[in-house]
């Protein structure tokens, strides 16, 4: 043990001349055996055990700190004994943050929950009430007269816009992943990978800006009229009929959201496709199948659960997306969406758009109601995300995760 200790000290001195940056360049950074597997899991458990022991300070085999009090390495060792404790404390930050988020939301939403009741989920109007009149009290909550809040249009708007996004994004993402893996040469597929990273990395306000200036007008003037002008005025189809508007509405938001969640689904699908064993595909081809038949028989079933997981992950992002939606949704309050091209609102867009004006409500009920909306959104997105991660966990993804949709 003393020998090891001396080695430590020597290394300490020798290592001082070589910084971490240089070692990135000179050391092999991704050595063999990097595939995670059973070995790794066993190892994690074992290391976990020994690490915990060291953390408890129970392994007394090393040279005592008191034996060499003046040596510089000793201070390090003392600090390092506390290291696992410090690291563990920091690792609890996400959990603490979650509890705080939920606590603050619940605490803030309590008056609104009492005031709005269950009708919150079935009502349509959205009104702060007469903020100049004296406050009145209902259910023990002070509020301006005529205040009335209903979340139904926003819940519908959130779900419908995300559904449109998923329906549009999934085929495009899968098609892209298929052609990238099966047909394109490495250099081109790397370029497509770059495009996906750009799509994932572009800030959502930029999507909003692009949707406002470029995509929205294009969709409403050049794309939507292709079918909107020719549909009959019957119950279901009339949703797709009507004037196509100026480009701010459900359709534009759906397309923008679809483009935003494309990279998540496409990159995950691509990485899954690369793990499909070639021998099985070649076996299918050897049996006389065409490329596309082999896809249907071997490749697609192989990746299905992973793609579904990635899709649900994308859905989670679409449900929670705020800025891009707020910029192109048209911000409709107090009414349900009646056509594919009409203005509407989602929960997150209402929160970001109304928090400012909610300050004018002296009773605080408006701010409180936004907290209740936030709870609804949190419930939906967390449920979707947990489901997605359970599905994705079954497959190891090697994607370079960029953007908020890892």
28 interacts with another protein by CB under 8 A: yes
The pair of structure tokens assigned to 345 is 């609102």
Residue 232 Cβ, how far from another protein at the closest point, in Å?
A: 28
Site for another protein in 138-167 (CB under 8 A): none
Q: Report if residue 315 touches another protein, rule: CB under 8 A.
A: no
Select from 10, 13, 52, 338 the one that contacts another protein (CB under 8 A). Answer: 52
Q: Is 337 in the site for another protein (CB under 8 A)?
A: no
Smallest gap from residue 235 Cβ to another protein (A): 31
Bridge partners for 143 per DSSP: 136
The least distance separating another protein from the CB of residue 293, rounded to whole angstroms, comes to 7
Determine, following the binding rule CB under 8 A, whether residue 7 of this chain makes contact with another protein.
yes
> How many alpha carbons lie under 13 Å from residue 61 in its C-beta half-sphere?
6
| Cβ-Cβ contacts under 8 Å for 162 (sequence gap 6 or more) | 257, 315, 318, 319
Q: Which of 283, 274, 97 is nearest to 186 (CA)?
A: 274
Give whichever of 250 and 266 is closer to another protein, judged by the CB atom.
266
Between residue 349 and residue 368, which ones bind another protein under the rule CB under 8 A? 351-352, 355, 367
Backbone torsions φ then ψ of 136, nearest 5 degrees: -120, 170
Which lies closer to another protein via its Cβ, residue 228 or residue 371?
Answer: 371
Q: How far is the CB of 379 from another protein (least distance, A)?
A: 11
> What DSSP letter does each residue of 278-324 carry, written as one string?
HHHHHHHHHTT--HHHHIIIIIHHHHHHHHHHHHHHHHHHHHH--HH
Whether the CB-CB separation of 167 and 256 falls below 8 Å is answered with: no
> Which x/- pattern over 82-111 shows residues binding another protein (rule: CB under 8 A)?
-xx-xxx-xxxxxx-xx-xx--xx--x---
Q: Give the range of 125-133, 139-147, 230-238, 346-354 binding another protein by CB under 8 A.
A: 346-354
Please pick, from the candidates 167, 198, 237, 362, the single residue that binds another protein as defined by CB under 8 A: 198
**Nearest alpha carbon to residue 329 among 250, 382, 406:** 250
Q: In terms of Cα–Cα distance, which of 342, 335, 151 is closest to 250?
A: 342
Nearer to another protein among residue 119 and residue 203 (C-beta): 203
**Residue with Cβ nearer another protein (150 or 208):** 208
* CA distance linking residue 206 with residue 211, whole number of Å: 8
Residues 122-141 that bind another protein (CB under 8 A): none
What is d(CA 359, CA 295) in angstroms, rounded to the nearest whole number? 56
Residue (142 or 404) nearer to another protein, CB:
404
* Interface residue with another protein, options 151, 174, 343, 366 (CB under 8 A): 174
Contacts of 146 by beta carbon, 8 Å cutoff, 6+ apart: 127, 129, 130
**Residues numbered 201-240 forming contacts with another protein, rule: CB under 8 A:** 201-210, 212-215
CA distance 340 to 223: 13
Dihedral over Cα of 180, 182, 183, 187: its sign = positive
* H helix or E strand, kind and range, residue 44: helix 38-55
Is the Cβ of residue 248 or residue 339 nearer to another protein in the bound state?
248
Shortest Cβ distance from residue 350 to another protein (Å)? 9
Q: Which of 13, 15, 75, 130 binds another protein (CB under 8 A)?
A: 15
Cβ proximity to another protein: between 32 and 66 the closer is 32
Angstrom distance (rounded) from CA 217 to CA 229: 16
Please give the Cα distance from 122 to 120 (Å, whole number): 6
Distance of CA 131 to the CA centre of its chain: 37
Are 340 and 251 in contact by the 8 Å Cβ rule? The answer is: yes
Restricted to residues 378-397, the positions that interact with another protein (CB under 8 A) are: 378, 381-382, 384-386, 389
Q: What is the smallest separation between the CB atom of 145 and another protein, expressed in angstroms?
A: 25
Judged by CB under 8 A, the stretch of 117-125, 200-208, 227-235, 297-305 that binds another protein is 200-208
Q: Does 183 bind another protein (CB under 8 A)?
A: yes
Q: Which of 83/133 has CB closer to another protein?
A: 83
């Amino acid at each position: 043990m003393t020998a090891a200790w001396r080695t430590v000290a020597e290394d300490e001195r020798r290592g001082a001349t070589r910084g971490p940056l240089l070692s990135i360049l000179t050391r092999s950074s991704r050595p063999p055996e990097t595939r995670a597997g059973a070995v790794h899991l066993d190892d994690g458990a074992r290391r976990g055990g020994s690490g915990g022991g060291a953390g408890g300070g129970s392994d007394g085999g090393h040279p005592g700190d008191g034996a060499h009090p003046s040596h510089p390495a000793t201070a390090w060792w003392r600090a390092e004994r506390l290291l696992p404790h410090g690291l563990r404390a920091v690792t609890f930050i996400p959990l603490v943050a979650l509890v705080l988020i939920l606590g603050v939301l619940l605490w803030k939403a309590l008056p609104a929950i009492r005031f709005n009741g269950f009708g919150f989920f079935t009502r349509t109007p959205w009104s702060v009430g007469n903020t100049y009149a004296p406050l009145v009290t209902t259910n023990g909550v002070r509020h301006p007269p005529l205040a009335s809040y209903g979340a139904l249009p926003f819940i519908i708007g959130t779900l419908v816009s995300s559904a449109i996004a998923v329906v549009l994004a999934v085929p495009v993402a899968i098609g892209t992943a298929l052609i990238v893996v099966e047909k394109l040469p490495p250099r081109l597929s790397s370029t497509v990978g770059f495009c996906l990273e750009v799509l994932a990395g572009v800030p959502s306000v930029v999507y909003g800006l692009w949707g406002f200036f470029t995509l929205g007008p294009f969709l409403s003037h050049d794309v939507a009229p292709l079918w909107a002008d020719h549909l009959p005025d019957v119950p279901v189809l009339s949703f797709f009929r009507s004037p196509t508007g100026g480009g701010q509405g459900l359709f534009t938001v759906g397309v923008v959201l679809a483009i935003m969640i494309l990279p998540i689904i496409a990159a995950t699908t691509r990485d899954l496709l690369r793990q499909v064993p070639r021998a099985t595909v070649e076996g299918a081809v050897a049996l006389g199948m065409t490329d596309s038949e082999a896809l249907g028989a071997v490749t697609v079933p192989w990746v299905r659960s992973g793609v579904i997981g990635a899709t649900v992950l994308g859905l989670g992002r679409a449900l929670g997306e705020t800025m891009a939606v707020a910029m192109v949704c048209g911000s409709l309050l107090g009414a349900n969406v009646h056509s594919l091209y009409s203005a509407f609102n989602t929960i997150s867009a209402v929160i970001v758009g109304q928090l400012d004006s909610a300050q004018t409500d002296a009773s605080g009920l408006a701010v409180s109601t936004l907290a209740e909306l936030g709870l609804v959104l949190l419930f939906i997105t967390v449920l979707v995300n947990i489901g997605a991660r359970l599905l994705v966990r079954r497959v190891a993804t090697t994607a370079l995760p960029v953007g908020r949709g890892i």
